[in-house]
Amino acid sequence: MSTVTVSPKARTQNELWITRVFDAPRELVWKAWTDPEHMAQWFGPRLFEARNLTADVRPGGKWRNCLHSDGFTDTAGQWRTADLWQGGEYLELVEPERLVFTFHWEEGSGLPEHDTVITITLAESDGKTTMNFHQTFFVTEEDRDGHGKGWNSSFDKLEDFLAR
């Protein structure tokens, strides 16, 4: 029997880690991640809105969303509109502290169509919530970095939503 190991450097290159602190109780941040009506308010980077968002939030349940934009500049500097479909499956829920689900871009999006796994942990202290976000495995650093920009923009929107 053989084993395969991944070097720490390769593991880091193929993983995305983001930590954010929100001025909101953990239960509200949890609800923002698990209630489709709340998700639709912030899910997606700035200049994109969540359309047709569905989420069956239970282990084995599916989620799906269309990121719609009336206009943005792509990586080649071209102005374009978009409907980018994404989705996945919920793998684990430990309310209100841990959420694990898959993520993939659907066929025809022009984006890498492999599954990644997202793990979110939430910890509350003094009425604020620390969110640790982990997404793995990316095929390229460019894909990882693109997701980093997109998720950080989404989390800026989440912060705005939680403040309301």
Kindly report the pTM of this predicted structure.
0.88
Terminus-to-terminus CA distance in the chain, angstroms?
56
- CA atoms of 15 and 105, how far apart (whole Å): 17
Q: Given this model, what pLDDT does residue 2 score?
A: 39
Instruction: Provide the pLDDT for residue 129.
Output: 98
User: At residue 12, does pLDDT exceed 70?
Assistant: no
Residue 135 has pLDDT above 80, yes or no: yes
Output the pLDDT for position 78.
80
Position 74 scores a pLDDT of: 73
Q: Whole-number mean pLDDT of the chain? A: 90
Residue 3 has pLDDT above 50, yes or no: no
Whether the per-residue pLDDT at 163 is higher than 90: the answer is: yes
Residues paired with residue 125 on neighbouring β-strands, in sequence order: 128
Parallel, antiparallel, or unpaired: how do β-strands 15-22 and 116-125 relate? unpaired
Pairing of strands 98-105, 79-94: antiparallel
Q: How many C-beta atoms surround the C-beta of residue 10 within 10 A?
A: 11
User: Which CATH superfamily, name and number, covers 14-163?
Assistant: START domain (3.30.530.20)
The ranges assigned to domains in the chain are 14-163
Is the pLDDT reported for residue 88 higher than 80? Answer: yes
Closest CA to 16 of 102, 154, 118: 118
Extract the tokens encoding 144: 């990882």
